[in-house]
Amino acid sequence: MLNAEECATDINFANGAVRPLNILLAEDCENNVLLVQLYLKKLPYSIDVAENGSEAFELFQRKEYDVVLMDIEMPVTDGYEATTLIRGFEKDNSRERTPIVAVTAHALPENEDKAYEVGCDYFLTKPVRKADLISTVQKYGASLPV
């Protein structure tokens, strides 16, 4: 059963008030990927999935994204390092700053502080609620020019 906040969000979708977005989801857990896709399926969003930070960085170099959802704890290259690589790439290539949302089960203040230090714009803790994910993506996607 949806709560009142989630129902109100669904009504906003029906009114066409949601801007199409390209989202990069860096997440190594298949269940979390499926959950994010399920939460966002009614929205005009295109979601590319990277299973680790290295894949996320490779995809980011080839395509422009409106928002990056970055899991922090991943194999090969973690979310902190991937965010650092992305911020360096943006600077070196004179690209506009892409909003990066850290998504992690580690809710300690030092994890949040480190995410902001490496260049994340926002921090969500798992398990992520549907309404929180949607409002965060809409907030950061809305800050982009139409």
**Tens of pLDDT along the chain (146 residues)?**
334 344 434 435 545 567 899 999 999 999 999 999 999 999 999 999 999 999 999 999 999 999 999 999 999 999 999 999 999 999 999 999 999 999 999 888 999 999 999 999 999 999 999 999 999 999 998 765 44
Tally of structural domains, the chain = 1
Domain membership flag for residue 140: no
* Local structure of residue 99 (DSSP, 8 states): P
> Measuring CA to CA, which residue among 47, 42, 54, 88 is closest to residue 68?
47
Owner of token pair 């911020």: 87
**Ramachandran region, residue 48 (left: φ > 0; alpha: ψ -120 to 50; beta: rest):** beta
Domain membership flag for residue 13: no
Domain membership flag for residue 141: no
CB 61 within 8 A of CB 90: no
Which residue segment(s) compose the domain that 37 sits in? 19-128
Question: What CATH number does residue 81 fall under?
Answer: 3.40.50.2300
Domain membership flag for residue 10: no
Domain membership flag for residue 80: yes
